[in-house]
Amino acid sequence: MANHNKEKRSRKFRLAVLDDNTHQQLVTLHFSRTGFFVTIVTIMVVLTAAIFSIIAFTPVRTFIPGYPDARSKRAAIQNAITIDSLERVVFRWELYSENLRRVVEGEEPIKIDSLIKVSSGSSTEGVDMNEVALKDSLLREQVKEEEQFGISQRTRRNLPIEGLHFFTPLKGVISQGYDPAMHPYVDITAPAGSVVKATLDGTVIFAGWTDDAGNTIQIQHDGDIVSIYKHNDRLLKKIGDKVSAGTPVALVGNTGEITTGAHLHFELWHKGETVDPTKYIKF
């Protein structure tokens, strides 16, 4: 009985290919049940790995629906630039229509200083203009006295970086994001010649050429904040220039040794350490 069970457990199979005419065995395979299943599983694993490698590391992946190719990326960049241009056009038309309405009704056109109030829908109806003028005069006198004795400079508040409003230096697509260890900055892809703008008010502390980064400009801002713009085609400011947020400072280029195409290398430093610009700026 024991021998019968042992023979049953060690049961093997044979697969033979015969010649139909001569009955000669051409191929013979010997295998057990366990070996058969192991072979099938191995073939499936190898086949799956091969298919994954082909899809992941070859251009075949571009045929997958929804996967972005080079043309899709270019279209995304162009759409981002078009949207930015349309926003400006819409804003100008809103300003034009508001000024036209005021002129037709005999009112004063909108001043540049009041654009923000107009865009937010603020109104001066129901406000005593004489009282406003009096308060404005008192405020002007107070500011004049503080400037005379240097009080305003000493009492100026330095807001934390989270409380600042950063101007977008360049509208485009982030081709490589921020990584504190390997890539402590962001790369923004945009067409060559696009205007690069200062992200905050500040002073240019460096504007020149380096072999690795090409045309580079660095701006010192209040609150121990420094912004750096690299690989520019041309610089529009020089060392010592005062700039305001949104002021053009350079043109996008592909200069320097460590660059693979037209883009902006943007760094943001706070108190001697790099920070992730995407936390404060919408590109």
Angle at 140 between CA 247 and CA 121, to 5 degrees: 60
The two three-digit tokens of residue 37, written as one number? 């299943």
Q: Which CATH class is domain 165-279?
A: mainly beta
- Is pLDDT at 237 greater than 90 in this prediction? yes
Indicate the pLDDT class of residue 100, thresholds 50, 70 and 90: confident
Query: Is residue 173's pLDDT more than 70?
Result: yes
DSSP β-bridge partners for residue 202: 243
Structure confidence by residue, pLDDT tens digits, 194-222: 999 999 999 999 999 999 999 999 999 99
CA pair distance 253, 229, nearest whole angstrom:
11
- For residue 53, the model assigns a pLDDT of 83
Give the dihedral of Cα atoms 124, 129, 131, 132; nearest 10 deg: 60
Report pTM. 0.47
Residue-wise pLDDT tens digits, 44-92: 999 998 888 887 777 776 666 666 666 777 777 888 888 877 887 887 7
**Cα distance between residue 88 and residue 105, in whole Å:** 26
Domain definitions of the chain by residue range: 2-59, 68-121, 165-279
Q: What's the mean pLDDT in 185-195?
A: 93
